[in-house]
Structure 1
């Protein structure tokens, strides 16, 4: 399970990239691009949280 946990942590680093893209889009006043990257980061973060909780539940079994 440590391998899975480390992979989830690596995948969470992509969230930083998505937030960076959203910030750079808002700096250039590109609202559609900001909306796109912001929504991607929210959905991606939620899916990572669900994945982490599922593996924690499986680990308890």
Structure 2
């Protein structure tokens, strides 16, 4: 095995690692976005419930 072949094998391995890290980062960003949207939906529903409750007290 020559030194050039060893370098090519190493760069292919690093390329796979780079792709895996990019995929991991994408998944983490997506999970964070889904979590933020879910928390916003919960907050909005709680606000709506609080408003509805205060309207029912007035009647």
Identify the TM-score tier after normalising by the shorter chain. 0.5 to 0.7
> Within the alignment, does 1:51 sit opposite 2:35 as a pair?
no
Q: TM-score, normalised by structure 2?
A: 0.53
- Secondary structure, counterpart of 1:42 in structure 2: helix
> What is the aligned residue count?
34
Alpha-carbon distance in 2 for matches of 1:41, 1:35: 10
* Higher RCO, 1 vs 2 (CA within 8 Å, ≥6 residues apart): 1
**1:39 and 2:26 matched:** yes
> TM-score when scaled to structure 1?
0.52
- Cα deviation digits, residues 7-54 of structure 1 (max 9, x gap): xxxxxxxxxxxxxxxxxxxxxx41010011000000010000000000
Runs of 4+ in 1 over 6 A off after TM superposition: none
RMSD between aligned residues: 1.6
